A and B are shown apart, each in its own frame.
Chain A
Amino acid sequence: MTGATARWINCAPEARQRVYFANHTSHLDFVVLWSVLPRHLRAQTRPVAAKDYWQSGLRRALAINVFNAVLVERSGTVKAERSGTGKAERSGTGKAERSGTGKVEPSETAKGDHSADGSDTERDRAEQIGTARHSLEVLLEALDARHSLIIFPEGTRGKGGPVGPFKSGLYYLWLKRPDVQFVPVYLANLNRVLPKGEVLPVPFISRVTFGPPLEPAAKQSKESFLKEARDALCALQQA
């Protein structure tokens, strides 16, 4: 349907552990990215998908049985702070933020918020951080099981325009598992196949471009790592 063609630029489809991170414009993204991988890599590569969207019957069967997806909670379903955020990575972000700075104590979380009527909010935030931490653990578990992952660090589907800002989950994955290769993947034309809000697909030839794996300097700040990752992805847009 999408007749996807894959290009590998300074990167080969090797059987080593990787995190493929891609721009996100369509529900078809992970399906297409996954399908252009050579067969022997597909079995060990698992897309990361949001549990709330992929939970219902058919979608769930598809996600789990066909693609062996890692389903994670989105953390922002209740709280304003993260509401509207899209995907698994986002959750990874929230939890990781805490664990990155040290322990995530519920007390620490609550610190900022002393108002009496804030107790509900506090509980919610603690819950969110709980889910987020849980999500990161799920991803790390998948990595420890020697699986590669496909993630969309923008967190939600864009409109096919410029690549959106990255959520920090990617950074925490790298922090925890620096030996894993982080490969940027640019997906072109998929938003035209199935734009946000449309149900019926139109056939366009899409292009999947794999770029050279990141070579991040050790001890980078979150901002500079995310900028490097995003720049690497944007560079493929022109390639």
Chain B
Amino acid sequence: MTKTKQQTKNIPGFTFVKKVKDISQYTLKSNGLTILHKQIPNTGVITTNITYKVGARDELLGETGLAHMLEHMLFKPTKQDLKRKIDSSAMQFERETGCVLNANTWKDRTTYFFNYPADHLSRALQIEAERMLDVVLTDKEFLPERGNVLSEFDMYNGDPYFALSVQMVCSAFHSSPYGHETIGFREDIERYTPKKLDRFYKHYYRPDNATLTIVGDITNNEALTKIKEIFGGLKNPNTPIPRHDIQEPTQEGMRRVEIKRPSSTNLLAIGIKHDGFPEQGWFNSSILFSILVSGPDSILHKQLVDTGLASSVEGSTEPTSETNLGMIFVTLAPGSTHADIESKVIEIIDSLTAKDITKLLKKVIQSELTSELFARGSSIQIAMDLTEYISANSWETYNKTEEILKSIRPTDLIALKNKLFDQTQMTIGYFIGTK
């Protein structure tokens, strides 16, 4: 399916905001919906992705995981579906056409996407428009889905890494909304009600809190014309979008957590607080973590795994808009103790110099740039990758990562390392297998 029409900036009903490389941003004048568009001609495939700026950070105490539960409910019937006497338009779309659909919730955002042959555009947009405001939240739909969410919770919680990371963030943050995992606590999930969900839904699901991304085999003109037709009549509530205004108290010493389970796994976790995404500091932290734990030539892999002290090392930084907890996990080899490995890791990181990491930095950046090039070859991958930038209010940074990565110097990372791995700011976790 080849589209040859000229891309135009000024389309009635929209405000053109900006274009960075081949991605354009518009706002739908009638309700403030943000639209991003990128054309990939000749594939016959489109991905649409709608991101709401609502996630685990917007939840209240006792309601952790509510954003994620609501994400599940958007695959249930809408008011329009009840009139049509069907289960759910979203599910029916997949069941009738075989399009790829899914959703995910994270700390700052909730995202829904469809990947489908280009001739289904109208249908995909219609579903997103209807479920933005009209999902029916009743016990009949909610109770079986809560069972699924509990099953999902148990799936994650059986994993020692997940169980330990839940305890780590709880301890690392005392009032920050990042102090609980996105899926929430089992005890909270068991106490959700349709009423709680409905309140949350009405607060955050509205055109002026959403970004609709369209990537694929379609011109901006065709896409925007269709968006105006389908989303143009949606109204925002008159109330403002509720947001927590919280400042995490200063940490004044190392924090520790411990889990014991009848398992043969033994884990050490080291948590540090890194900058929000997509600030330069976040990229620096992410690259520092790669140097420490990513691949067989990383520093901790060589010193712990190659020497037989550990089975594996891994780590991650969170692409959230504000400071969050990055974690390094070390799976202990039989015979190693948590305390010994903890001392060893801290000693290795403390002693790192710019000279030690110069070559590794070059390799990690090269590898990142290649990975990005591969990730930018399919509409679904592009739309998914853009999501984190959208939720951090900085989608244009998606097109600047090469520049950001190439600007990182070894001395920057050593200075950062000294700041992040200051022991008074760290959180240490032990998963102790008692089997």
Q: Do they bind each other? A: no
**Chain A interfacial positions (CB closer than 8 Å to B):** none
